[in-house]
Structure 1
Amino acid sequence: MAKRNTITKQLILDSLKNSKSAVSQEILQKELGEAVDRATIYRVLNSFCEDGIVHKILGDDGKYYFAICVNCSEKKHKHNHFHFRCLSCGKIECLPNEMEVKLPEGYQSVNFNGFISGYCKDCSNSSLFKQQ
């Protein structure tokens, strides 16, 4: 059975695609305002995860963030990359290098959550950061 593409789903998807970084449900809620309620955003984001449209990132702040998938499908997510959160501007990015984690024989990986905090290129190059 095909899933319906509603106006609400399209609003959320457009917001994710236009974002320059991974976003939390809270960020989407602020951006969309009263056009979409919190429970609907949560349900749509989880649906997008199941469909291979976005991947979920557990941040070092305990919040989940969502980023558009590249080359993923419903059955095969490939996200063995680190995520980076800037301590200054708060932007969360998927870093481009895939990581290979060698597990002991008989172990099977289901999830990879690599997370790094620090200062992004823009913030570490800012004059305010250089003065410290």
Structure 2
Amino acid sequence: MNDEIENKLREKNTKPTSMRILVYDFLASQDVARSLSEIENHFYPADRITIYRTLKTFEEKGIVHSIQENSTSKYRLCSDDCNEDTHKDWHLHFYCRICKQTTCRTDINFQAPSQATLRIDEVRLFAKGICENCLDETMQ
């Protein structure tokens, strides 16, 4: 598994340090976006500055995208076609008011404009509501 992560990091021009491999592996195992404090808690007592710098490097290299939720950033792995210049995460980010989880809803996509008269580098689409799991529980 580490070899695969190391290769993915190298493909993104990112040196595969131990912490970067660990953070990538952690994010790859998550079904929801995670905040810096949640990631820090997972790696406690690791240096929080190293984790923060890892996430910022990942964001710059197109490895993760950040989701702004009120005054908090949450992080989720990008698709493989994101890069240093352009994040191609053209999907909805959804926050459930009940379970308080933020998910990337790749089933709700938006198309990039087909005209070459402009270049969009990033789109941030965010919605709040009740996820299907919590909605099912409230219906019972």
- What TM-score do the two structures reach when normalised by structure 2? 0.78
- 1:44 maps to a residue whose letter is T
Q: Note the residue ranges of structure 2 that are not aligned, 5 or more in a row.
A: 1-12
Change (3 A) 1:101 1:75: closer
- 1:116 maps to a residue whose letter is A
Given the alignment, which residue of 47, 51, 63 partners 1:41? 51
How much identity, in percent, do the aligned residues show?
28
Given the alignment, which residue of 66, 76, 95 partners 1:85? 95
Q: Note the residue ranges of structure 1 that are not aligned, 5 or more in a row.
A: none
- 1:94 maps to a residue whose letter is C
In 2, distance between residues paired with 1:62 and 1:88? 19
In 2, distance between residues paired with 1:91 and 1:109? 28
How many positions carry a matched residue from both structures?
127
Given the alignment, which residue of 71, 75, 89 partners 2:80? 71
Aligned-pair CA distance for 1:12: 0.9
In 1, distance between residues paired with 2:87 and 2:14? 19
Moved over 3 A (4+): 105-108
> Aligned-residue CA RMSD in angstroms?
2.5
In 2, distance between residues paired with 1:75 and 1:111? 9
Aligned to 2:10: none
Aligned-pair CA distance for 1:108: 4.4
Q: 2:97 touches 2:129 (CA, 8 Å); kept in 1?
A: yes
- What TM-score do the two structures reach when normalised by structure 1? 0.82
